[in-house]
Structure 1
Amino acid sequence: MPTIIAIGIFVYGFISWTGFVSLTNWNTLTPDFSFAGLKNYLFLFNDYRFQSGMRNTLFFTLFFIIGVLGLGFFLAIFIDSKIKGESLFRNIFLFPMALSFVVTGVVWQWLLNPSTGVNLLLERLGFENLPQWYIDTRIALSFPLGNIEFGIPLALIAVVIAAVWQMTGFSLAMYLAGLRGISEEIKEAARVDGATEFQIYRKVIFPMLMPITVSIVIIMGHISLKIFDLIYAMTGSGANFVTDVPGVYMFETTFRGNFFANGAAIAIIMLLLVAIVIVPYLLVNRKGEA
């Protein structure tokens, strides 16, 4: 009962309060709880910065999940191949997960600074036209949509690299556990049937790892949809909001601009985005258990 009461107050109670505030006119330091309906939500969906943040979140989530899945899977295969120094490699690949996103953001901000870090090394090696990384304002493959240019913000690539570097260890551990749980007899049976090593992984191993893949997608998806600390520490909203995300916009709107109703509306939209990813997964799992 104490746990239920605590969760009811500090989780669902605060979510309900945030939802209520998002429907009011409280956009000054002085509380104003007069009913505003969907005015704050309509303002956001017509707002250039919010549209930019939603675009950035979409592409960040897509590239982040693909990067974590692909790199984690191949590293797991590499470690599973009985290499020498397996423990050393496993610890090296898992180490970034011990860091916070704030530390990762600060480190990669320096590494990908256009005047230092990686670019300085490339310059000394004779390369020219070096990338501008997170200060690049160009939008690739863009077309007009709403108030923004919808496409891939090139500055976001730097943030994706940092995020993938930190979270690949999670997918590596998950896939490695899955690979170690597959019987060698299944692989031998496939070889006897004439399957190549590539076919074994594509038609036997990867399908057996599908539940793990879905779990990784769900966990990484909810991390990327509510990302804040990495963006805030590494790039902020960026020039022309090319690296902005709803989490950063919500923080600055609420606690710097004192637009509490607008900030609450952003928070509710973020909650709904995460729910769209997680709730179906939980329902399917519950049906499977039943």
Structure 2
Amino acid sequence: MSLPETKTNMQLNINTKKKKVFTQDRIVSLIFLLPSLIGIGIFVYGFIFWTGYLSLSHANTAAMDMSFAGLKNYLFLFDDFRFQSDFRNTLVFTILFVITSIVLGIVMSAFIDSKIKGSRFFQNLFIFPMAMSFIVTGAVWQWLLNPSTGYNKILQFFGVENLPLWYVNPKVLLSFPFGDIEFGIPVAQISLVIAALWQMSGFVMAMYLSGLRGIDDSYKEAARIDGATELQIFFKVILPLLRPITISAVIIVGHISLKIFDLIYVMTGPGNGYVTDMPGVYMFETTFRGHHYGQGAAIAMLMLLFVSLLIIPYLISNRRKEVEE
């Protein structure tokens, strides 16, 4: 056998061994991943499928009639005063919560990144509420906003009397008719936004702070040499570089606001005229108290749709960027 033929056979043997090892690695990896894949398939996608099927059934009594009902449960919700209120409340809460948390996160991170004396103390102070659950936050802020307790008690000490129960106030600002409801900004929603900001703005601050400390100082120095002011540097150099952080913060905070339940349930409940009600609260009461399982499943599927409309475009965009790179 000639030398070139020997080299060729050796190379074929090496390639065969590599393929065999690669195949074995894939099989071992699949074995380790299989329990997780089965669990996700059953307890995530399986339950999503079951909830979707339940939402199309007549299962609105304890008898659990699973016969096909079409879109009956969805049509009922779209014509329901409470669900229309929930849609308004979710939209208002999400917009106010996301925008203010982003603005506060940027301001707090810029303040801490300036490295003034005591910045480490404020960093810990801002992030501390993240250690609590929304249930604790709701209980704390319910106490703080109650006219007979909290900060209102301090105001009464200074002679401010007859404080309104504004955190359950049914008034809707900037309202206009929309279906069976007044579409606008419910006054009581402001209290929920304040409580949610108290807990989540520190998390957004931490995201922006990590982004700020990852920006090379050479960008700022180059802008200063070109004559840019510190304000111009921040808005035209730093903020564009923080765009990935902003998108991630919007996704995280937005999906929390779209499916929020515990804060509202503990702090205000549905409220007068459902001004603080949310789909999560409505789903819980409809399903587990009213035994209207089909309607509760329909609410759950619509909540999934709301979250998907926020997250799926982001995932598609990221996937396209990975393919292009």
TM-score by length of 2: 0.87
Runs of at least 4 residues off by over 6 Å: none
Aligned to 2:174: 141
Q: Secondary structure at the match of 2:184?
A: strand
The whole-number CA distance in structure 2 between the counterparts of 1:59 and 1:128 is 30
Alpha-carbon distance in 2 for matches of 1:268, 1:36: 15
One of 37, 47, 53 as aligned partner of 2:86: 53
Q: Which residue of 1 aligns with 2:256?
A: 223
Deviation per residue, 1:184-217 (Å, 9 max, x gap): 1211211121111111111111111011001100
- Report the more deviating stretch, 82-91 or 58-67: 82-91
Q: Which moved more, 1:105-114 or 1:116-125?
A: 116-125
Paired position in structure 1 for 2:291: 258
1:271 aligns with 304
Q: Which residue of 2 aligns with 1:196?
A: 229
Shift of 1:129: 6.4
| 1:158 matched to 2:173 | no
Partner amino acid, structure 1, of 2:295: N
Match of residue 74, structure 1, among 103, 107, 112? 107
Q: How far did 1:124 drift?
A: 2.7
C-alpha distance after superposition, 1:25-47 (max 9, x if no partner): 01000110111100000000000
Give 1 or 2 for the bigger CA radius of gyration.
Answer: 2
RCO comparison, higher one (Cα < 8 Å, 6+) = 1
Higher helix share: 2
SS at match of 2:174: strand
Per the alignment, residue 102 of structure 1 pairs with 135
Matches within 5 A, 1:23-34: 23-34=56-67
* Cα distance between partner residues in 1 of 2:160 and 2:243: 42
Cα distance per residue 1:13-63 (max 9 Å; x no partner) = 000000000000010001101111000000000000000011000000000
State the identity %: 65
Aligned with 1:155: secondary structure? Answer: helix
1:167 aligns with 2:204: no
**Which residue number corresponds to residue 5 of structure 2?**
none
Partner of 1:91: 124
1:113 aligns with 2:149: no
Give 3-state SS (helix, strand or coil) of 2:280's partner. Answer: helix
Q: Structure 1: any 5+ residue segments left out of the alignment?
A: none
Q: What is the match of residue 3 of structure 2?
A: none
Deviates more, 1:122-131 or 1:229-238: 122-131
Query: Is the contact between residue 114 and residue 133 of structure 1 (CA under 8 Å) also seen in structure 2?
Result: no
Match of 2:12 in 1: none
3-state SS of paired residue (2:175):
strand
C-alpha separation between the residues in 2 aligned to 1:250 and 1:90?
37
Q: Counterpart of 2:44?
A: 11
1:289 Cα deviation after fit? 1.7
Shift of 1:85: 2.6
Deviations 1:110-160 (A, max 9, x none): 001122212222233344664533121100000110010001000010010
**Number of residue pairs matched?**
290
TM-score by length of 1: 0.97
Pick closer, same or farther for the CA change 1:230–1:148 going to 2, 3 Å: same
User: Are residues 188 and 125 of structure 1, via their aligned partners in 2, closer, same or farther at CA, if it must alter by over 3 Å?
Assistant: farther
